[in-house]
Chain A
């Protein structure tokens, strides 16, 4: 009887802190555990007693990589509680801001965090020595996304211009023109990114997942839609807690989310794509087909191709919004607080992000609940790693460890946000 353990004590190229423990006994995988030691920051507790207007600025600080997602889920949930809906150019500007975050976050993951795994480098800096043009393209694509966030949001990280009801200041049409110029370059770079990602070596690893994402009647989802799944779920964001629940396990300061009675599920680019292929721009659909993707993708190692397709879509969509934009008369619509509860779910780069707030008559927050995408994917990541180890048990520990890390990075887990996440320990004697 032999036992083998693989430990990755500090998972690299993920956002935040976590580790992985794998135990193998007599050639069989016994246990896979993602351990999250990101220190808890207690956002849901500290939001109590704050003003309803403060939720977007405070929750942005949950994650420096996707602050826009937190701001969007926060404003939509607060507006739902107050019975206000934001439409027209303000709604379009929110979508434009989200496009910027998707481009920035996806380019970061594709080029700086994920591509080095496929090409055998420890990081993008060393990758850049051999493939300078590839890394430079990635950085400039990332920059194009950040320029959208900077202009519409005020700055790249923790934008200052988002408020309940809209914005503090809205751009004039002429301010968006130089952005459009950059985005036309970015669209070509994104097309090139899809082609590049398609050439990477992918292990054959198709899995059965329950995909969960938003679905909107006419658009690829950002801020609005029903929560749907490949297993037939179709609910409003307000019904989220009736269908999903969080479990607190000892090894993790991030709560594990499950679909009640069904278990693990999958959120993020692959889920969004597989449930919304028909809502992509024709350019993004064509690029996906050319890259060899069908209308669904079930190989998480190909998530880098899907992320590239979404980046292309975000460039197309941003250009469409800028083209059609008319400056609104006021930067925000008035929102009057009233006692109530509001829910919202938006599509963060890494998947659905759920917020719920209860507020009182003067707008004081009474309670808050926040479920980030990476905590929703934790169980699915563990299942993938289990399969990866089972199929590659003969590999030397170093190679197997790398493959495990790569399968975690398929999910672009954002550990800082899910605490409220990685080291690999492999136990094989």
Chain B
């Protein structure tokens, strides 16, 4: 195997905060080993050197918010064997998808003195709305251990092991006291995808859903519980409308309470 070509890894950025790709550089103990196992072929945040495609694994961060990016993602897809989206922006549209519920031209006028210089789409949409995606890694930000699992899985030709159950399961495993039952703190844990390690409840705080919906999320039931705890409709709308506002179950639930 000494002559085997190293797989080419590319990292692409669309509208985002750079936090998810920073997770790669945050693998302080593993970074040099990863760089030994793959050829880092396109990763502008880390290197000036660019190796031409095609790429074996593309990690895509960020959402599509401009006409130019809607074109660019097509090129990325064509140049990639496997395309994995990383983070809430790439999988659900991110916090910038709050514009989807409002008038974007009004948003532009609030922030920019000369709206005519700004070229943006009315919506912020996930990568899967534009091209076929091989795997989606959720989280705002993603968990770096899960990212290493995804890279390792694709290097070895297997499916990544990232359980789709709720934060509640992680909470029980961690031995946390349930903040909703014991403290009456509204928590999105029952409908939120695992992966963070249930850090908010471990810090005496209700989950705020930054990992997006779990599989088969029963959001209407949780919203009814929240109402029973005295959370207003406006509060429920805000809770479902944060970093994963564009994810289908969260979008539907927020719209059901938006009156």
Contacts and interface: CB of A to CB of B under 8 A. Distances in A.
B18 A416 contact: yes
B99 A15 contact: no
Interface stretch (A51-59, A210-218, A284-292): A51-59
A165 interface: no
Contacts of B233: none
Given A41-B15, A143-B29, A146-B26, A51 B238 contact: yes
Contact of A39 (B48, B107, B112, B120): B120
A391 interface: no
Contacts of B21: 64
B20 A155 contact: no
A343 interface: no
Given A41-B95, A112-B46, A123-B49, A64 B32 contact: no
A37 B28 CA distance: 30
Contacts of B117: 248-250, 253
A67 interface: yes
Interface in B82-135: 94-96, 98-99, 102, 104, 106-108, 110-114, 117-118, 120, 124
A125 B141 contact: no
Contacts of B120: 39-40
Contacts of B224: none
Interface in B53-93: 65-66, 68-69
Interface in A88-140: 108, 112-113, 122-126, 128, 132, 135-136, 139-140
A39 B14 contact: yes
B17 A63 contact: yes
B238 A61 contact: no
A39 B15 contact: yes
B48 A123 contact: yes
A209 to B, nearest CB: 26
Contacts of B28: 139-140, 142-143, 146
Interface stretch (A42-50, A261-269, A318-326): A42-50
A161 B114 CA distance: 37
B48 A253 contact: no
Contact of B200 (A42, A113, A160): A160
B87 to A, nearest CB: 9
The residue among A11, A136, A155 with the most chain B CB atoms within 10 A of its own CB is A155
Nearest to B40: A125
Given A58-B242, A65-B22, A143-B29, A248 B47 contact: no
B113 A248 contact: yes
Contacts of A169: 202-205
Contacts of B205: 160-161, 163, 168-169
Contact of B96 (A41, A255, A405): A41
Contacts of A373: none
A340 to B, nearest CB: 20
A362 B204 CA distance: 24
Nearest to A107: B28
B32 A416 contact: no
A42 B106 CA distance: 10
Range of interface residues on A (Cβ < 8 Å): 35 or more
A122 B98 CA distance: 38
A61 to B, nearest CB: 5
A248 B238 CA distance: 31
Contacts of A48: 110
B199 interface: yes
A123 B68 CA distance: 28
Interface in B5-63: 13-23, 25-26, 28-29, 31-32, 35, 40, 44-49
Contacts of A135: 32
Nearest to B114: A248
Interface string A62-86: 1111010000000000000000000
A17 interface: yes
Given A45-B107, A140-B28, A157 B23 contact: yes
A12 B43 CA distance: 8
A379 interface: no
Contacts of B65: 39-41
B95 A67 contact: no
B47 A122 contact: yes
Contacts of A39: 14-15, 65-66, 69, 120
Contact of B141 (A11, A58, A64, A122): A64
A183 B243 CA distance: 33
B210 interface: yes
B194 interface: no
A158 interface: yes
B208 interface: yes
B140 A158 contact: yes
Nearest to A141: B28
20 contacts: A13-B45, A46-B98, A46-B99, A46-B102, A51-B235, A61-B243, A64-B16, A64-B20, A65-B18, A122-B48, A125-B32, A128-B35, A139-B31, A154-B203, A157-B19, A160-B200, A160-B210, A169-B202, A249-B117, A331-B204
Given A64-B21, A160-B200, A250-B117, 12 more contacts: A15-B18, A37-B68, A45-B111, A54-B242, A61-B95, A63-B18, A64-B22, A125-B47, A143-B29, A154-B202, A160-B205, A168-B203
Interface of B: 13-23, 25-26, 28-29, 31-32, 35, 40, 44-49, 65-66, 68-69, 94-96, 98-99, 102, 104, 106-108, 110-114, 117-118, 120, 124, 140-141, 196, 199-200, 202-205, 208, 210, 235, 238, 242-243
Interface of A: 10-17, 37-46, 48, 50-51, 54, 57-58, 61-65, 67, 108, 112-113, 122-126, 128, 132, 135-136, 139-140, 142-143, 146, 154-158, 160-161, 163, 167-169, 246-250, 253, 255, 331, 405, 414, 416-417, 420
